[in-house]
Chains A and B, each alone.
Chain A
Amino acid sequence: MRRIVVFWPQALTAGAVLAAWEIAASTSKPYWLPNLQRIASSWWDLASSNAFRATTASLQTLGIGLLIVLVLGGILAGLLANVRILDEALSPLINTAMSTPTVALVPVYVLIWGYSSTTRVVAVVSFALFPLVLQWIVALKGVPADLQEMAHSFQANRVRRVRTIVIPSTAPLLLNGVRLAVVQAIKGVVTAEMIIGVVGVGKLIVTAADTFDMPQLYAVILTVVAVSILSYLVLSTAETRASRWAE
């Protein structure tokens, strides 16, 4: 019970926003703001007509893209974390690259690879790779040297050293990197698909917008929002678990 009571400020603003939405939608009835009930029934129509099957393409892209990001990111971060001069030289470059509007590159991918899944996978990688690499470098550099030495002098073998020192001291930050990457990857998929406009969840959004079907547009957007928040929460939980376990 106490745990629920503690959340009153959050509940208050959430309630206020929903109430404002309902009131605005049902009194002045702007055509761009359907009420929640219409959105819900539209969502149900989409779900029962299997329209969400289009999102499997998005999820596939997301999965493949993330896999590439993790492997490539692991290699890059491992290299930069261990070779100091490369880190000094390239990390600022990566930072600079991250401050450019990556979105602008998506049309170039479309020109090169057309409406294929390659375009979308490349978009995912270009959105998610660098944030992951930078965070993973921090994680891998964070293995305390004194603990390493101690393990060495106690003649702990390699497996044991990795299990008792390397993994606990890096896991929370590594997971933090994964979380950043997943958030960015979802942004990448949605962005690419909306610019392409004929596949996956981007198609659902663009079609609804083109036909001015506002309840459907909201239903799709809220689904995307829910999925992003859910994956963020799952990964945050994993991260807190890991850091608690590491202590």
Chain B
Amino acid sequence: MTEVVQETVDTPEAEAGLPPPRVGAPALRRRSRRALAVWAIRLATVAILFVVWEILGRRDGGVFIAPVSTTLSHLVDLWRSGQIAPAMWRSNQALLVGFPISVVVGLPLGFLLGRVRVADRAISYWLDVALVIPMIAVVPVIIVALGLTLTARVLVVILFTLPIVAMNARAAVRIVQTHLIEMSQSFGASRRQVWQGVILPSSFAPVFTGLRVGLAHAISGMIVIELTLIPAGLGGLIVTFRSQFAAGDLYATTLMILIEGLVLVGLAHALEQWVARRLGAAE
């Protein structure tokens, strides 16, 4: 299975709900120096990437590789000339419709698969298959069947997103410790109370991580259909610029897509942490 959540790197203190251990001043200084080094390495890596990109672009003369500077100025031009905004709006319609549908259907489906064994065995392997196969291969069938309509684009976004959302939700409710559930049941908790009081709160973090990964997949799905066969939206711009060998514009549009991905996934991450903190405070 691809990318199903595994990130629970909590300290024992955080797990037990205790405040982090107090640190002495020297230890604190050591820690902040370390954090500084970490950030320095990170920034240096990104800087090196950009410098190499710029140098390669200049040496190439901007025919096949547009330098960073050119890319950025083309991005500004594309915004000014009003080419990018409508394309972005057109592309994102599919995301705006498809992602919520995937979440609304995928989460309950995943919860069901995680807790009901027969359903799990009957359905989960289909989702596994959906995660393993190159979904892009199915896009032509969808385009032939539905044309390049909004429905077709929404369907592709759902095909890219729903399986990962559902499988992550499934994994999240499966890892809830059974002894907690059993205990609450022996105290006479109803099925609804078990879900509200035990399963959902403790599976919150991995479910949300699943949504974040799902969002990244959704953006891929949105772009994939536009790059294949019938170009439109941002993908359409890319195909056009590629055929015109307009490297600067092509790089600018690609960068725009990557930036959108980073911003949306970053926002999801921030939201995730905010809600987690609220939940933690409420307890």
Contact = CB atoms under 8 A, between A and B. Distances in A.
A99 B125 contact: no
Interface in B191-215: 212-213
Contact of B2 (A92, A183, A210, A221): A183
Nearest to A88: B38
A93 B129 contact: no
Interface residues of B, number: 58
A131 to B, nearest CB: 7
A101 B250 contact: no
Contacts of B45: 89-90, 93
A111 B216 contact: no
A205 interface: yes
B245 interface: yes
B136 A107 contact: no
A229 B132 contact: yes
B41 interface: yes
B19 interface: no
A104 interface: yes
> Secondary structure of the B side of the interface?
helix
B241 to A, nearest CB: 8
A52 interface: no
| Most chain B C-beta atoms within 10 Å of own C-beta, residue among A92, A205, A208 | A205
Contacts of B239: 107
A80 B151 CA distance: 44
A191 B145 CA distance: 20
A206 interface: yes
Contacts of A86: 41
Report the interface size class on chain A: 35 or more
A80 to B, nearest CB: 11
A190 B137 contact: yes
Contacts of B257: 101, 104
Contacts of A12: 122
Interface string A186-204: 1101110011000000000
A241 B213 CA distance: 29
Interface in A60-109: 85-86, 88-90, 92-93, 96, 98-108
Nearest to B3: A131
Contacts of B103: none
B220 interface: yes
B2 A180 contact: yes
B141 A93 contact: no
A105 B122 CA distance: 37
A110 interface: yes
A228 interface: yes
B228 to A, nearest CB: 6
Nearest to A95: B7
18 contacts: A7-B121, A10-B125, A13-B126, A31-B144, A85-B41, A88-B34, A100-B261, A101-B219, A103-B224, A107-B238, A108-B254, A191-B134, A191-B224, A205-B137, A214-B141, A217-B144, A221-B141, A224-B137
Interface of B: 2-3, 6, 34, 37-39, 41-42, 45-46, 64-65, 118-119, 121-123, 125-126, 129, 131-141, 143-145, 212-213, 216, 219-220, 223-224, 227-229, 238-239, 242, 245, 247, 250-251, 254, 257-258, 261-262, 265
Report, nearest first, the 8 A-B pairs whose CB atoms are least far apart. A209-B140, A9-B122, A89-B41, A32-B145, A190-B134, A9-B121, A104-B257, A100-B261
